[in-house]
Amino acid sequence: MPRLEIADDGFRLDDRPFRIISGGLHYFRVHPDQWADRLLKARLLGLNTVETYVPWNLHAPRPGEFRLDGGLDLPRFLGLAAAEGLYVLLRPGPYICAEWEGGGLPSWLLAEDGIELRSRDPRFLAAVDGYLAALLPPLKPYLSTDGGPVIAVQLENEYGACGDDTGYLADLAGLLRVHGVDVPLFTCDQPSDLARGGLDGVLRTVNFGSRVEAGLDELRRLQPAGPLMCSEFWIGWFDRWGAVHTTRDAADAAADLDRLLAAGASVNIYMFHGGTNFGFTSGANDKGTYRPTVTSYDYDALLDEAGDPTPKYEAFREVIARYAPVPDEPVPAPGPKLAPAVVELDASAGLFDQPHLFGRPVRADRPQTMEQLGRAFGFVLYETELPAEGPAVLRVGEVRDRAQVFVDGQPVGVLERENHEHALAFVTPRRGARLAVLVENQGRVNYGPGIHDRKGLLGPVRVNGEELADWNSSSLPLDSLDALAVAPAEPLVGPAFHRGSFELDRPADGYLALDGWTKGHAWINGFPLGRYWSRGPQTTLFVPAPALRPGRNEITVLELHATTTRTVELRDRPDLGPAED
Distances in whole angstroms, Cα of residue 311 to Cα of each of 23, 273, 275, 426, 451: 16, 13, 17, 53, 35
Please say whether the beta carbons of 518 and 560 come within 8 A. Answer: yes
Sheet containing strand 16-18, edge to edge, reads 4-7, 10-13, 16-18
Closest to 109 (Cα-Cα) out of 359, 480, 448, 444: 444
State the Cα–Cα distance between residues 437 and 432, nearest whole angstrom: 15
Q: Which amino acid is at 500?
A: G
Residue 373 three-state SS: coil
Which H or E element spans position 178? helix 166-178
What is the enclosing helix (H) or strand (E) of 348? strand 347-350
Cβ–Cβ < 8 Å for 276, 293:
no
Q: Can 158 be counted among the known catalytic residues?
A: yes
Q: Tell me phi and psi for residue 575, to 5 degrees.
A: -130, 100
Q: What DSSP string runs through 466-508?
A: EEP--EEEEEE--S--TT---EE----SSSEEEEEEEEESS--
Rg of the Cα trace of the chain?
A: 25
Question: Looking at 232, 305, 371, 383, which residue is catalytic?
Answer: 232
- Name the active-site residue from 84, 101, 158, 218: 158
Provide the β-strand partners of residue 349. Answer: 497
Catalytic (active site) residue 232: yes
Catalytic residues: 158, 232
